[in-house]
Amino acid sequence: MGLRWYHFALWAAFIAIMVAIPEFVSKGTLRIIIFANFLAIFAISWDVLSGRTGYISFGHPFLIGIGAYTSAILTKRFDVPIEWAIPAAVVMTMIGGIIVFLPALRIKGSYFALVTLAFMELTYQLVQVIRPDLTGGTRGMSGVQTLTRGALNGYYLSASLMVTIALSMWLLMRTQLGTALSAIGMNEESVRGSGLSTTKLKLFAFLTSAFVAGLGGAFYVHYLGSIAPRALFDINFLFTIIVAALIGGASTIIGPVIGAFFLTFLLEYLRPYLPGAERYFIYGLIALLLYMYEPKGIIELLRKGWHRLFSRHSVETPS
Amino acid sequence: MLQIIVQGLLLSGLYALIAMGFTLIFSVGRVLNLAYGAYLLIGGYIYFTVSQTLGVPKVLGLLLAAMVGCLVGLLKYRLLVKPLKGNHVAVEISTLILAVVVQAGVVFIYGDSSKILLPIVPGVTQVAGASVTYNLLAATIGSWAILFALYWFVRKTHVGRAMQAVSMDTKGAAISGVDPDRINMFTWGLSGMLGATAGVFFASYTQLSPSMWVAPLIIAVAVVIVGGIGSIIGTLIVAHIIGFMEVLAVAVIAPELRGVFTMLLIIGVLVIRPQGLFGREEL
Amino acid sequence: MSFKKTTLLAAMAVAAITQSAVADIKVGYIGSLSSDTGLSTLRGAEIAIEELNASGGVLGQKIELVKADTSEDPTEGVKAYEYLAETEEVDFIISGSIDDVSLGWLPRMQEFQIPTLDTWTSYIGIIDMIVEDYETMKPYFMNIASDEALATLYIDFGKDVLAEKMGWSSVVILQEDTAFGGAIAGLVTDALAPNAGIEVKESIVYDITTNDFAPLFSRAQDSGADFIYLISSVNSQVVSSQYVKLQVPMGMTGVNVAALGQEFWEDTGGAAGGISTLSPIPSVGFKLDPVSQAFVDTYQAKYDTRPIMPHFNGFNAYHGVKQAMAAAEEAGEFNNTSWVTAMEKQDLTLKLDGETWLRYAFWGNDEIEPRTGRTYPHNARFDITEPYDEASPSMVVIQWYEDGSSAVVYPEKYKTGEFTVPSWVKAKK
């Protein structure tokens, strides 16, 4: 896997920081971090699939929505215990992952992105039409059972979920499997040529991504306590997930986490100064400029900064 | 029956106009411009401000909207698409971000609530039991006129043939003396102009709202996907397929399923025949 | 100055600052900052707070208002509520949220137990939550009549005006595909038909993203019904302006949420003549009592951007904030026990020419409304039986005329104009 001493050190530092955070910040800030944690999970899920394989998913809210809706419906309408509802939601989301996977057998690139977008729009419309007594129709559902109460508990739950997912995905992507997935992103034909089954590899990536999305979606709805189709199957939600992954740095797993924290805090810290719509304008503009300036993300900027500090020579040769 | 035909024809004409600018960029520049809907948004709001609020004559308002659309298209190419040097994913993502930024800007200036545009051409008549507004009729006729002009332009003029060449083979075109950069620039401007014009008609038919860029984008995407890349005639045909399908769904099956059929069509065509119904044709 | 002395002074200064910061009463506003709906509530609250501060504040302290934007997104609503509760630590929350946004943050209200007053959403499902789980829901109040009560009174309008005066005997329902649309359509089908002798010919359900209503209107015409009953809460100006632009040759009334605002005429570019809708009160064209009129005068002197006239929820916020503060004076603080009890007892009757005109009070927790036969804890007290001397009616019907004016046409007591159909529709009689 090529693990180095500084990998251990960085992860240990990351976990230590996450554990120590509640000692230093207010409850309000903890609430913000909880949303950042969930966004990080969704962005990691997107990264596992799209960051590596190059199959850009515009339909991630579709997967997250399956997880969230399944768990919410099971607990609220059928009184299924939450510890059963969440695994069931994850399984359902993985089935959803297979549905998204099918078009990927034949199409890629921009076309694949569009078909996933169509999936999202379709679900948005169907949720309102099919069995509104279960889904709550346009109004969604309120009073969904929550796992925890209070900012501190919510923080520990979401942070441990996020760190566990981030660490396991990071380790997974450092195996040969991860390398093979990256290779698909670069040149699918050559991977096939080298005797590997790209179909199996892709299926693996879709299922892993759906697993994370389902898990995140289910925990998310049991944190929010409510669910509304308009906020979920929404192009703005999709936008936040993708931009978090890309601004942080795609195909690095840790980049999306950085991106999620950056975006969430940017939006929240603008709140006292720009309470209205101009907040989203500034927020979008900063995201756009940052992405245009460094499409490889914040993690690349950090890496460059690191090199500039510690090895002056490497900077002088343009990369 | 006749009523369905009348309504289908009118709606399809509008859809063709909406999809045209999107198709142009997709065939010449080979990139998905997810901010295409923003042209419609900008066009509609410019027309609203200039003609409905300030009272400038409607034709001038329409022209101004088209010019601003053109300018936005040019700026988008220079500042966004060109620096990203044909990195498709980057262009798609950055145009998506741009669309969201434009939407936030519109909310900031005009507020959240929808506005209704006055008909550009007022009046209404009954044809075969269907109400036909002169406005939509004008949009449809205008749309046909623009499409034929475009067809003629691409086939017969020097610039048009250069566009065709770039759309088929960028490198080959460059070798034979066409400057792909200038052609791209021209196409982006033209696409912006078409988008903004379609926006005025679309808004005067439906409504003006900050989120109005999503629906036309999806129609444009559907037309491009179902039709296959970049044929003007293909665009026209598919716009009619989708338009008629929607009118039929409403009249015969169930109105709330209207959008569902379009989505199913997109997914179906992409999975079964990814190259589109009409395959890869020249422009 | 010695080091010790400096630290001591600094510590004192810090203490003083913290104390004065804590001492203020904080009111949080949750809602959209860019919609007419949200701004009505916000400005109603702003004026109430200004007036209260001018007369000495509440509990001997000044009131401070903090805003949290939801941009009408349910998840943003949850974040906004958390921000008000945990970062700003407000004492009371005034909300101008729409249905699904309120439903989104309600679990947070249950968790934080902050006194909260909703002024816009009228969803009966929220009142049901109070009935089912009073203990965790009790800090919540809604001072607009719930949608079910709105629809019930509307049935009377169908009987008195649509059936008797217009002579209409059959209807086609044109309903948006939302929970709200479904609920109202159900009521109309089950109650309007038998009570008013109006036959439901067909129900047409459309998706809320629908942009083009021409085929739907054709279908409505084909049904052969006398009039269209529209139920539209999302972007209803689209459907109604197309009705006008297409000059659909049959009458149309119902629920058209966009037509509740004074800007409806301007926003539709005048494509609004002949449109009528039920509206919570006070509506456009509604005659105002002196107290509410004074509020409107202050409002119009203070704000020169839209909405030029506060929507009904602006009035609700103005009176509601004052009542919430009065309840705090009585209880001595904001909490989920004594404040709730004091708030439940708030009662303000506004009179016009000696008659009960508007009333801001809440239903008793176990009080049964005779006509609907159910309880409405923490919901605005309404009256759905003539002569409306108990409380305000749950709704009025407003009519937009082709010259751009508007009036209340039902009930009789509040009437300022006549119900009418557009000029291109041929009257039946």
Across the interface, whether the CB atoms of C246 and B259 are under 8 A apart is answered no
- CATH number, domain B2-272: 1.10.3470
Is A239 part of the contact surface with chain C (CB cutoff 8 Å)?
no
Is residue A239 domain-resident?
no
Domain count, chain C: 2
Element (H, E) at A252: none
Q: Are residues C317 and C330 in the same domain?
A: yes
Is residue C355 domain-resident?
no
- Measuring CA to CA, how many Å separate B170 from each of B157, B167, B234? 18, 6, 22
Across the interface, whether the CB atoms of C177 and A146 are under 8 A apart is answered no
Is residue A103 domain-resident?
yes
β-pairing, C396-400 vs C406-410, is antiparallel
> Which chains, if any, share at least 3 CB pairs under 8 A with chain A?
B, C
Across the interface, whether the CB atoms of A281 and B225 are under 8 A apart is answered no
Closest alpha carbon within chain B to A246: B93
Per-residue confidence (pLDDT) for residue A319, from 0 to 100: 36
Q: Are residues C35 and C138 in the same domain?
A: yes
Per-residue confidence (pLDDT) for residue A267, from 0 to 100: 86
Is B218 part of the contact surface with chain C (CB cutoff 8 Å)?
no
Is residue C254 domain-resident?
yes
Is B205 part of the contact surface with chain C (CB cutoff 8 Å)?
yes
Who among B7, B215, B254 is closest to C214 (CB)?
B7
Is C178 part of the contact surface with chain A (CB cutoff 8 Å)?
yes
Who among A102, A114, A242 is closest to B225 (CB)?
A114
- Using a CB-CB cut-off of 8 Å, the residues of chain B touching A54 are 89
Is B263 part of the contact surface with chain C (CB cutoff 8 Å)?
no
Is B116 part of the contact surface with chain C (CB cutoff 8 Å)?
yes
Is A138 part of the contact surface with chain C (CB cutoff 8 Å)?
yes
Is B85 part of the contact surface with chain A (CB cutoff 8 Å)?
no
Q: Are residues C152 and C138 in the same domain?
A: no
C65 pairs with which residues across the strands? C27
Closest alpha carbon within chain A to B220: A114
Whether B94 contacts B79, CB under 8 Å: no
Domain ranges of chain B: 2-272
Window A:14-53, CB contacts with C under 8 Å: 26-32, 35
ipTM greater than 0.85: yes
Which of C33, C69, C100, C123 is most worth mutating to test chain A (most A CB atoms within 10 A of its CB)? C100
Which of A69, A121, A139, A141 is most worth mutating to test chain C (most C CB atoms within 10 A of its CB)? A139
Is residue A116 domain-resident?
yes
Across the interface, whether the CB atoms of A149 and C179 are under 8 A apart is answered no
Is residue C358 domain-resident?
no
Across the interface, whether the CB atoms of C235 and B119 are under 8 A apart is answered no
Who among A125, A278, A295 is closest to B260 (CB)?
A125
Indicate yes or no: pTM above 0.95.
no
Is residue C362 domain-resident?
no
- Using a CB-CB cut-off of 8 Å, the residues of chain C touching A35 are 79
Who among B88, B97, B264 is closest to A284 (CB)?
B97
The reply to whether omega before A275 is within 30° of 0 (cis) is no
Instruction: Please give, rounded to a whole number of angstroms, the shortest distance from the CA of C280 to a CA of chain B.
Output: 19
Is residue C80 domain-resident?
yes
Query: Which residues of chain C are under the pLDDT cut of 50?
Result: 1-5, 7-9, 11-22, 429
Closest alpha carbon within chain C to B111: C34
Per-residue confidence (pLDDT) for residue A218, from 0 to 100: 96
Window C:56-85, CB contacts with A under 8 Å: 67-69, 71, 73-76, 78-79, 82-83
- Using a CB-CB cut-off of 8 Å, the residues of chain C touching A149 are 111
SS3 (DSSP) at B210: coil
- Using a CB-CB cut-off of 8 Å, the residues of chain C touching B111 are 34-36, 306
Domain count, chain A: 1
Instruction: Please give, rounded to a whole number of angstroms, the shortest distance from the CA of C224 to a CA of chain B.
Output: 12
Is C106 part of the contact surface with chain A (CB cutoff 8 Å)?
yes
Q: Are residues C7 and C127 in the same domain?
A: yes
**What is the CATH number for C256?**
3.40.50.2300
Is residue A269 domain-resident?
no
Whether C64 contacts C87, CB under 8 Å: no
- Using a CB-CB cut-off of 8 Å, the residues of chain C touching A236 are 73
Instruction: Please give, rounded to a whole number of angstroms, the shortest distance from the CA of B182 to a CA of chain C.
Output: 37
Is residue A289 domain-resident?
no
Host domain of residue C206: 148-280+394-414
Per-residue confidence (pLDDT) for residue C427, from 0 to 100: 64
- The last residue of one of the domains, among C349, C364, C386, is C349
Q: Are residues C28 and C139 in the same domain?
A: yes
SS (H, E, C) chain C: CCHHHHHHHHHHHHHHHHHHHHHCEEEEEEECCCCHHHHHHHHHHHHHHHHHHHCCCECCECEEEEEEECCCCHHHHHHHHHHHHHHCCCCEEEECCCHHHHHHHHHHHHHHCCCEEECCCCCHHHHHHHHHCHHHHCCEEECCCCHHHHHHHHHHHHHHHHHHHCCCCEEEEEEECCHHHHHHHHHHHHHHHHHHCCEEEEEEEECCCCCCCHHHHHHHHHCCCCEEEEEECCCHHHHHHHHHHCCCCCEEEEEEHHHHCCCHHHHCCCCCCCCEEEECCCCCCCCCCHHHHHHHHHHHHHCCCCCCCCCHHHHHHHHHHHHHHHHHHHHCCCCCCHHHHHHHCCEEEEEECCEEEEEEEEECCCCEECCCCEECECEECCECCCCCCCCCECCEEEEECCCCCEEEEECHHHCCCCCCCCCCCCCCC
What average pLDDT does chain B have?
A: 84
Is C221 part of the contact surface with chain B (CB cutoff 8 Å)?
yes
Instruction: Please give, rounded to a whole number of angstroms, the shortest distance from the CA of A227 to a CA of chain C.
Output: 7
Q: Are residues C276 and C309 in the same domain?
A: no
Q: What is the pLDDT along chain A (319 residues), one digit of tens a residue?
A: 677 888 889 899 999 999 999 999 988 899 999 999 999 999 999 999 988 888 888 889 999 999 999 999 999 999 999 999 999 999 999 999 998 888 877 777 777 888 888 888 888 878 877 777 888 877 888 889 999 888 899 999 999 999 999 999 999 998 888 888 888 888 888 888 888 888 888 899 999 999 999 999 999 999 999 998 888 888 888 989 999 999 999 888 899 999 999 999 998 888 878 877 788 888 889 989 988 888 888 998 998 888 888 875 544 444 3
Is C303 part of the contact surface with chain B (CB cutoff 8 Å)?
no
Size of interface B-C (CB pairs under 8 A): 107
- Using a CB-CB cut-off of 8 Å, the residues of chain B touching C246 are 124, 131, 133
Per-residue confidence (pLDDT) for residue C361, from 0 to 100: 96
Closest alpha carbon within chain C to B106: C34
- Measuring CA to CA, how many Å separate C52 from each of A19, C47, C358? 45, 9, 21
- Using a CB-CB cut-off of 8 Å, the residues of chain A touching B271 are 102-103, 106-107, 115
Q: Are residues C296 and C312 in the same domain?
A: yes
Per-residue confidence (pLDDT) for residue A65, from 0 to 100: 94
Instruction: Please give, rounded to a whole number of angstroms, the shortest distance from the CA of C230 to a CA of chain B.
Output: 15
Instruction: Please give, rounded to a whole number of angstroms, the shortest distance from the CA of A113 to a CA of chain C.
Output: 22
- Using a CB-CB cut-off of 8 Å, the residues of chain C touching A132 are 179, 182
Closest alpha carbon within chain C to A31: C82
Closest alpha carbon within chain C to A232: C75
Is residue A142 domain-resident?
yes
Instruction: Please give, rounded to a whole number of angstroms, the shortest distance from the CA of C89 to a CA of chain A.
Output: 9
- Using a CB-CB cut-off of 8 Å, the residues of chain A touching C125 are 139, 142
Return the amino acid letter for C231: I
Is B135 part of the contact surface with chain C (CB cutoff 8 Å)?
yes
Across the interface, whether the CB atoms of C218 and B131 are under 8 A apart is answered yes
Is residue A145 domain-resident?
yes
Host domain of residue A106: 5-233
Closest alpha carbon within chain C to B135: C245
Is residue A96 domain-resident?
yes
Q: Are residues C339 and C264 in the same domain?
A: no
Across the interface, whether the CB atoms of C71 and A277 are under 8 A apart is answered yes
